[in-house]
């Protein structure tokens, strides 16, 4: 009896549930490169290369283990370009008795999968994805009984349940959180480690040529492509982070530096999200580094909090609030995405830096995403769906389940507080404190108004004035609203006018 086992592009884990019970003598693994998945947003070229190259390597690994793989390449002449029609064609080729697939990671593909049974006329078993600490149902059980959902409490439960950084039932080091020790500014002249990057092999180079040919107009450059595309290289990248990045990850987690986009960050999200690494092994490696004395607890807890905390939380959250969440717009933001998000053509140095590393590496780190490009989108009132599609398009690690809650919930507060307890709105002072960008900027971060003032300064106050009815009661914003209460009506009107004038001006930056 032939079972057709479908492996999707972000399911590249040897222990994925769709492969459980595989009979190499009769079963066939189907993998498909389809146009539909490469164009639902206009991905950065590196994202397309990453996924296709990793799929091709994964298929080779399966074949070496004696598994029969039916691989449909993007440029195969008969490729119909859609997952559903490729599955129908594969059914006609192999005449299997049934289909097995692991639940897709994005709602869009999940909706497609629910039709495969009726379209093929065969039983389709959709198996749970066991690659997260918490299943979708686990999050839903936790969320259902609560009025507010906060990552911190979910995270603590998962720490206990999975015995990560726990000693005798208590959090290691006697505290759940060491954030007070983290988030330092990077002292000038601090050296940052050279990070391990991977030269493309012949398989990856062939995909690069294909992408340059078929997606020449897409955003981004392939020149600096260096992401791991195999399990072997992903493990090397993990080891590199544990040795070179982790010890100072906590201290400088929020720091930004000109020309240094990676700093002490993990650079592991692309491999994790494809399934080349498991979140469990990544957390275990970090904990082992602390227990052996090679990394301090504030760094290791800070890192585990990102994986076991944020990553699991946004995953559960996405599946709990979809569909419907994609249309939220609690701040009634309507402005179109400014062209500089694609071109980097802006005199604002912090934004220029963030876009430059995005073009070159399909990467910018969390604080650049949240407090530079995200903060600007929030303050400028950019339509949530436009900025959300941008984040989904431009990063190598972007998948809707992780990107959408981070963008709509965290960066632009479009859900009105379902995910975060307050908008991450900040003036230029925050960027100045955490980076060296301002010293080389055309604007002056110390000036609050006038043609040379840092635009983040007046945009911040204009945002609070505009959103007063929605936000003034938020206890976490009590301080700025107390300050605003002391402003005259004229001063508030002048601030709004200055912000509007600036926002009109950026339309012509090209
Ligand atoms: C607007 C916005 C969009 C984002 N889009 C994505 C996305 O599409 N894909 C993605 O993986 N992450 C996304 N993030 C989260 C985070 O910025 C990236 O995971 C991180 O920058 C990846 O780089 P790194 O591997 O060096 O991570 P590090 O900063 O070193 O963190 C370690 C790991 O923790 C996890 N992590 C950290 N923060 C988060 C978070 N907020 N949510 C989920 N996981 C987290 C990632 O797996 C990451 O690899 C987004 C954040 C924001 C603010
Ligand atoms: S002065 Fe303002 S715009 Fe310029 S880098 Fe600093 S925060 Fe960014």
Backbone angles phi, psi at 435, to 5 degrees: -145, 175
Show pLDDT as tens, one digit a residue, over the chain (510 residues): 899 999 999 999 999 999 999 999 999 999 999 999 999 899 999 999 999 999 999 999 999 999 999 999 999 999 999 999 999 999 999 999 999 999 999 999 999 999 999 999 999 999 999 999 999 999 999 999 898 899 999 999 999 999 999 999 999 999 999 988 888 999 988 999 999 999 999 999 999 999 999 999 999 999 999 999 999 999 999 999 999 999 999 999 999 999 999 999 999 999 999 999 999 999 999 999 999 999 999 999 999 999 999 999 999 999 999 999 999 999 999 999 999 999 999 999 999 999 999 999 999 999 999 999 999 999 999 999 999 999 999 999 999 999 999 999 999 999 999 999 999 999 999 999 999 999 999 999 999 999 999 999 999 999 999 999 999 999 999 999 999 999 999 999 999 999 999 999 987 776
Ligand nearest to the CA of 441: 2
Ligand 2 atom with least separation from CA of 457: 2
Ligand 1 within 6 A of CB of 270:
no
Q: Of 431, 176, 459, 397, which Cα lies nearest the Cα of 302?
A: 176
Quick one: pLDDT at residue 237? 98
| Contact 268 CB / ligand 1 (< 6 Å) | yes
**Pairs from 232-236 (Cβ < 8 Å, separation ≥ 24):** 233/198, 234/268, 234/271, 234/276, 234/277, 235/277, 236/196, 236/198
- Residue 428 alpha carbon to ligand 2 centre in Å: 6
Cα angle 122-10-397, degrees, rounded to a multiple of 5 = 155
- CA dihedral over 334, 342, 410, 158, signed as positive or negative: positive
Nearest CA to ligand 2 atom 3: 348
Nearest CA to ligand 2 atom 7: 428
Tokens of 383: 């339509």
Cis peptide before 356 (omega within 30 of 0): no
Alpha helices in 414-454 (DSSP H): 428-434
The predicted pLDDT at position 492 comes to: 98
- Decide: 188 and 180 in contact? Cβ < 8 Å: no
**How far from the centroid of its chain's Cα atoms is residue 438's Cα?**
26
Tell me, what's the pLDDT at 510? 62
- Residue closest by Cα to atom 20 of ligand 1: 366
pTM for this model (two decimals): 0.97
Q: What does the longest C-alpha to C-alpha distance in the chain come to? A: 79
CA gap 502, 335 in Å, rounded? 13
SS3 for 419?
coil
CA distance 467 to 95: 59
H/E stretch holding 112 reads helix 107-113
Under a CB-based contact definition with an 8 Å cutoff, are residues 148 and 142 in contact? Answer: no
| CA dihedral sign of residues 167, 170, 171, 174 | negative
Query: Which residues face 98 on adjacent strands?
Result: 3
| 92 three-class SS | helix
pLDDT of residue 148: 87
Structure tokens at 417: 């507080």
Long-range contacts of the stretch 285-293 (C-beta < 8 A, 24+)? 285/238, 285/239, 285/242, 286/242, 286/246, 287/164, 287/165, 289/242, 289/246, 289/247, 290/165, 290/172
- Report the half-sphere exposure of 240 (CA within 13 A, side-chain side): 21
Distance 262 CA to ligand 2 centre (A): 20
Centre of ligand 1 from the C-alpha of residue 363, in Å: 10
Q: Is 378 in the pocket of ligand 1 (CB under 6 A)?
A: no
**DSSP label at residue 134:** S
Query: Which of the ligands is closest to the CA of residue 435?
Result: 2
| Cα distance between residue 418 and residue 503, in whole Å | 28
Task: Say whether 482 sits in a helix, a strand or coil.
Answer: helix
* Dist. CA 285–CA 169, nearest whole Å: 20
Pocket probe mutation, ligand 2, options 456, 503, 505, 509, max atoms within 8 Å of Cβ: 456
């Amino acid at each position: 009896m032939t079972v057709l086992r479908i492996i999707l592009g972000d399911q590249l884990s040897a222990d994925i549930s769709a492969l459980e019970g595989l009979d190499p003598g009769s079963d066939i693994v189907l993998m498909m490169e389809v146009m539909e998945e490469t164009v639902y947003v206009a991905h950065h070229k590196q994202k397309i290369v990453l996924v296709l190259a990793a799929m091709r390597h994964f298929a080779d690994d399966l074949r070496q283990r004696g598994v029969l793989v039916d691989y449909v390449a993007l440029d195969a002449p008969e490729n119909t370009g859609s997952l559903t029609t490729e599955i129908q064609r594969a059914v006609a080729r192999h005449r299997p008795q049934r289909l097995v697939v692991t639940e897709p990671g994005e709602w869009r593909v999940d909706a497609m999968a629910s039709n495969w049974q009726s379209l093929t006329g065969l039983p389709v078993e959709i198996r749970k994805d066991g690659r997260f600490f918490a299943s979708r149902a686990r999050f839903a059980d936790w969320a259902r009984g609560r009025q507010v959902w906060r990552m911190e409490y979910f995270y603590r439960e998962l720490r206990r349940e999975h015995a990560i950084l726990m000693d005798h039932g208590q959090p290691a080091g006697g505290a759940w959180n060491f954030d007070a020790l983290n988030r330092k500014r990077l002292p000038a002249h601090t050296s940052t480690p050279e990070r391990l990057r991977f030269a493309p092999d012949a398989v990856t180079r062939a995909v690069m040529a294909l992408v340059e040919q078929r997606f020449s107009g897409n955003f981004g450059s392939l020149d600096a492509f260096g992401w791991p595309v195999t399990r072997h290289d992903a493990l090397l990248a993990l080891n590199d982070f544990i040795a070179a990045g982790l010890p100072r990850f906590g201290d400088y987690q929020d720091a930004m530096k000109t020309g240094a986009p990676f700093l002490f960050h993990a650079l592991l999200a692309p491999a994790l999200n494809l399934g080349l690494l498991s979140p469990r092994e990544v957390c275990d490696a970090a904990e082992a580094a602390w227990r052996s004395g090679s990394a301090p607890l504030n760094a290791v807890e800070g890192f585990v909090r990102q994986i076991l905390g944020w990553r699991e939380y946004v995953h559960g959250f996405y599946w709990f609030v979809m569909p419907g969440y994609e249309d939220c717009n609690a701040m009634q933001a309507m402005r179109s995405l400014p062209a500089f998000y694609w071109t980097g053509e802006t005199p604002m140095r912090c934004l220029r830096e963030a876009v430059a590393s995005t073009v070159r590496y399909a990467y910018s780190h969390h604080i650049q995403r949240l407090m530079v490009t995200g903060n600007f989108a929030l303050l400028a009132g950019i339509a949530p769906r436009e900025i959300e599609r941008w984040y989904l398009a431009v990063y190598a690690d972007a998948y809707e389940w992780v990107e959408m809650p981070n963008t709509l919930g965290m960066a632009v507060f479009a859900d009105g507080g379902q995910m975060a307890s307050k908008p991450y709105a900040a003036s230029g002072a925050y960027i100045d404190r955490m980076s060296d960008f301002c010293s080389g900027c055309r604007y002056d971060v110390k000036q609050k108004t006038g043609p040379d003032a840092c635009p983040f300064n007046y945009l911040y106050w204009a945002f609070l004035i505009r959103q007063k009815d929605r936000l003034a009661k938020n206890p976490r914003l009590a301080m700025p609203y107390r300050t605003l209460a002391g402003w005259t009506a004229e001063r508030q009107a002048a601030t709004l006018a200055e912000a509007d004038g600036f926002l009109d001006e950026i339309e012509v930056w090209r």
